[in-house]
């Protein structure tokens, strides 16, 4: 099924199409076709901001949830993003855009996305890794000459 066969919400043309396309080469913004399920920042021909590259290391895959947060308020979801868009306030419009971008005809299942989805968490190993940080950065948020990491957003890491 081609992207043109899927019902496109009018909001896509009004809010997105001036910078993004569903197919073809990147424009002002990257091509959005097959975005859901794809690695964040996957286009090799688009110069993503350092902020989005950092976000990609934390979230890795575009899901409906990561896309929702980004479209509601790009600057809050990814501080420092180059996308100069205020965000989508209307819940119905937001849902329609996410449904459009998440339509099965537009979902990709890259090898990386499949591998990540099969990973199982290892809490013991996570505690071990965090223990190195907690050697200097106190868990109680204290600051004895080294900045506290308590309460910081994941994107800071």
In CATH, what is the architecture of 7-117? Orthogonal Bundle (1.10)
**Quick one: pLDDT at residue 94?**
92
For residue 3, the model assigns a pLDDT of 44
Please give the pLDDT value at position 5.
46
Q: For residue 108, what pLDDT is reported?
A: 56
pLDDT of residue 36: 80
Q: In the chain, what are the domain boundaries?
A: 7-117, 123-152
Count Cα atoms within 13 angstroms, Cβ side, for 76.
Answer: 10
Q: Enumerate residue ranges in the chain where pLDDT < 70.
A: 1-6, 104-114, 116-117, 138-145, 148-157
Q: Which long-range contacts (CB under 8 A, 24 or more apart) does 67-76 make?
A: 67/35, 67/36, 67/98, 67/101, 67/102, 68/94, 68/98, 71/97, 71/98
């Amino acid at each position: 099924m081609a992207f043109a066969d899927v019902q496109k919400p009018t909001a896509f043309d009004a809010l997105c199409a001036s910078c993004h396309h569903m197919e073809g080469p990147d424009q002002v913004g990257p091509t959005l076709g097959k975005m859901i399920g794809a690695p964040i920042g996957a286009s090799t021909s688009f110069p993503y901001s350092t902020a989005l590259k950092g976000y990609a290391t934390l979230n890795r895959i575009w899901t409906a949830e990561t896309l929702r947060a980004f479209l509601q308020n790009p600057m809050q979801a990814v501080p420092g993003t180059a996308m100069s868009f205020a965000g989508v306030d209307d819940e119905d419009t937001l849902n329609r855009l996410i449904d459009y971008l998440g339509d099965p005809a537009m979902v990709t299942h890259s090898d990386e996305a499949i591998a990540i989805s099969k990973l199982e968490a290892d809490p013991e190993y996570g505690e071990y890794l965090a223990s190195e940080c907690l050697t200097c950065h106190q868990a109680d948020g204290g600051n004895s000459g080294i900045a506290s990491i308590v309460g910081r957003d994941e994107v800071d890491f």
